[in-house]
Chains A and B, each alone.
Chain A
Amino acid sequence: MGGVYPVFIMKALCFALFACAFNLLIGFGGLLSFGHAMFLGTAGYVSAHAAKVWGLPPEVAILAGTLASTALGALTGALAIRRQGIYFAMITLAMAQMIFFFYLQTPFTGGEDGIQSVPRGRMFGVLDLSNVLVMYYVVLAIFLAGFLAIRRIIHSPFGQVLKAIRENEPRAISLGYDADRYKLIAFVLSAALSGVAGATKAIVFQLASLTDVQWQMSGEVVLMTLLGGMGTVFGPVVGAFTIISLEHFLADRGQWVTVITGAIFVVCVLAFRRGIVGELAAWWAKRRG
């Protein structure tokens, strides 16, 4: 069994959960956030700090990271949902940049070095996460819990109202739904699930760094979601695995990875706008008549 293989899939699973959380907002709420990296990074820093400095067990560290992202999501969401479209995207980007510079300057994050050598510890005092296989199945369980929770949210009455707001907000408001409240809840849920992904990633890689808070990360999750299929349940998972695989296999090409992923993005937008899963689902529906 290859030692790198589970680590590679764990990385893909963390990003898949992050993309699924992002998809909840853009795919079902119609809200394009350009600052989602702040939730991934915040949860990573808080969980890494909690595990390393405070010595908390991994499950509590992940919970602490998730709560921090949720609180940040409530704060930024309350400000951002007051605007729509490009203004919403710009507010989230501005907030993410503010958070980035905060983490760059504040001492507890370790600046450009980040928080390194985060102990994985024992989950619930039983599961030794220093074992790669145990860590892998814990990450898989976390991913599946998040994935199924998102699916549950989408198909709940709340999710239906969210889709109605995405399709026609004035009509949803005229039916008596408080659109802002629904959008804020969707934003906070998305931030919380992004936090789960970020906190898990920090424990897996034993590292929390500025990479997870940078604006490039916010762009990457947009790419993953669009490539896989926005507004589909499996799309972000496929998109995340595709992008992470490309980055892995093309790592020796240096900066060409960015060029290639950029080209794929352009082709995706021009040729198949529904993404991989969206196009497959449309083909399947057409075939079945």
Chain B
Amino acid sequence: MVAPDPATPDPAALEPVSPEVEVLAADPTVRTFRIATIAMVAALALAPWAACTRCSL
């Protein structure tokens, strides 16, 4: 049995990855975006219940 050439890359490492996944993985703002989106959704979902008493709203 012939030993595999160490220079040959592992086939598992050559799994096709979609460009979109690569872009998202490389984007450092993804985590920040998720946190900001959750905060925005929470704020907007609760907004009608937070009637402003000091302003004209």
Chain A residues at the B interface, C-beta cutoff of 8 Å: 1-2, 4-6, 8-9, 13, 132-133, 136-137, 140, 143-144, 148, 151, 155-157, 160, 233-234, 237, 248-249, 281, 284
Considering only CB atoms, which chain B residue lies closest to A143 in the complex?
B44
Contacts of A9 in B (CB 8 A): 44, 47-48
Within 8 A of A (CB), among B1-57: 19-20, 23-24, 27, 29, 32-33, 36-37, 40-41, 44-45, 47-52, 55-57
12 further interface pairs, Cβ-Cβ under 8 Å (given A13-B44, A249-B55): A1-B48, A2-B51, A5-B48, A6-B47, A6-B48, A137-B45, A140-B44, A148-B37, A155-B27, A157-B19, A233-B33, A248-B56
Interface residues of B, dominant DSSP: helix
CB distance from A197 to the nearest CB of B (A): 16
A-B CB contacts (within 8 Å), total count: 51
CB pair B47 A5 closer than 8 Å? yes
Are A140 and B19 in contact (CB-based, < 8 A)?
A: no
* A133 CB contact (under 8 Å) in B23, B44, B48, B52: B48
How far, in angstroms, from A140 to B33 measured CA to CA in the complex?
Answer: 18
Measured between beta carbons, the chain A residues less than 8 angstroms from B50 are 5
Best-buried of B20, B24, B45, B57 by chain A (most CB within 10 Å): B57
Kindly state the separation between the CA atoms of A190 and B21 in the bound complex, as whole angstroms. 24
Residues of the B chain whose Cβ atoms lie less than 8 Å from the Cβ of A248: 56-57
CA distance A2 to B44 in the complex (A): 15
